[in-house]
Amino acid sequence: MNDEFKLVGHLQVLDEALSSLYSSQQSGKLFLFVRIYEDCDDSTFLLSEVRPSIVIDYIERKVGLKQIFSHSPSYYYKRKENMHTLYSKDFISIGVEEVYSKLLDGSLDDLFSCELACNSIGIKRHLQETYL
């Protein structure tokens, strides 16, 4: 599997994107990427396949990251230096307990933060118009 992904948009941003939505070029499936900080490294992420309605519920603070990551297979991704394209072959499958641990240790709060919202209104509108 060598599926390539394109950025739909960043949901939450501080100095850099903290949560982002990507789409598979091959299948059209959506994936939520959440930046985690491990050993002062900011190029690691957790990701999970998501339905558009779940992303909207996340933006509206109806569901949190733990709930999102508990319902779909989750993956770990470490961006390689000078690598600008995402491929599914680089994703490492991880279990729910490990996801929870990584979310607790160095990630966003469980619920969506309006203070960090970037283009969440535009993304929400795009999801509603395109997928629902």
Specify the pLDDT at position 1: 46
Specify the pLDDT at position 2: 54
Ordered DSSP codes for 116-128: GBSSHHHHHHHHH
- In terms of DSSP H, where are the helices of 71-118? 96-106
- In terms of DSSP H, where are the helices of the chain? 52-59, 65-70, 96-106, 120-130
CB 17 within 8 A of CB 35: yes
Specify the pLDDT at position 109: 86
Specify the pLDDT at position 132: 78
Q: pTM for the whole thing?
A: 0.88
Specify the pLDDT at position 82: 66
Specify the pLDDT at position 31: 95
One digit per residue, the tens of pLDDT, for the chain of length 132 reads 456 899 999 999 988 889 999 999 999 999 999 998 876 666 889 999 999 999 999 999 999 999 999 988 999 998 877 667 788 888 999 999 999 998 887 678 899 998 898 878 899 999 999 887
